[in-house]
Amino acid sequence: MKTLIYWKNIKILITGGTSGLGRALAKQLVAAGAAVAVLGRDKAKLLALKEEHPEIKIIQGDISVKEDIHRIYSEAIEKLGDIDVLFNNASSLGPVPLRLLIDTDCEDFSRALETNVMGAFRLTKLVLPSMILKRTGVVVNISSDAAIQNYPTWGAYSISKSALDHLTALFAAELEKTGVRFLAVDPGDMNTELHRTAVPDANPEGLFTPEDSAMRLLHLLETEKYSAAHRGLR
């Protein structure tokens, strides 16, 4: 499954882009000719990515911090110009080790919502005006099967991803005639740092690689045959 010419010169912002699916997307998209900026909190990881792929633009910031959002957006515009595709990929598990909702502190629950929902909401609001003006653009929100399945101890993460799914569907319904498209996608269980943190004893041989999930997601987007509904790549 090869990426198509679809991505050449497309301007793309990826949050949570220094590891896992975000990093894999950035590398594959740059190889396909896209202009890519990644957002991450860890300066060392950003610099390592930049050293490996000098063509990738890097932005340091935290999507969960309201005060960071306008600066993040301004830097993205400075480095890329108007954004054609936004991948809201940054995610927080909530409390680690995972725990029952009754044992989840309000602050941990709030932190998951700020990253997985509010961060995506705020950044999407900023990129939408130029997309609407151009009558084209794509917002991809990275969801999870936990958004539609009731996994005990995954409460904060699960609820935040469910809210993200609905946020995606509502944006799509409200902006149906603008030319901007929205997608909430479950990339499957991947062999990533986030998954290892959540399930330390998981067998990596039974998990997707981030590279494979990224390729399948890009193929889905290239076909342009999708809707805002929760889509799984399993």
Give Cβ neighbours of residue 200 (< 8 Å, ≥ 6 apart). Answer: none
Clarify whether 2 is annotated catalytic.
no
Residues 11, 27, 157, 160: which is the catalytic one?
Answer: 157
Clarify whether 151 is annotated catalytic.
no
Clarify whether 134 is annotated catalytic.
no
Cα angle value 145/151/157 (rounded, 5°): 65
For residue 53, give the nearest of 22, 75, 78, 84 by alpha carbon: 22
CA distance from start to end of the chain:
15
Residues 73, 91, 161, 162: which is the catalytic one?
Answer: 161
Cα angle value 234/209/203 (rounded, 5°): 90
Residues 143, 144, 162, 213: which is the catalytic one?
Answer: 143
- Cis amide bond preceding 97, omega within 30: yes
Active site residues: 143, 157, 161
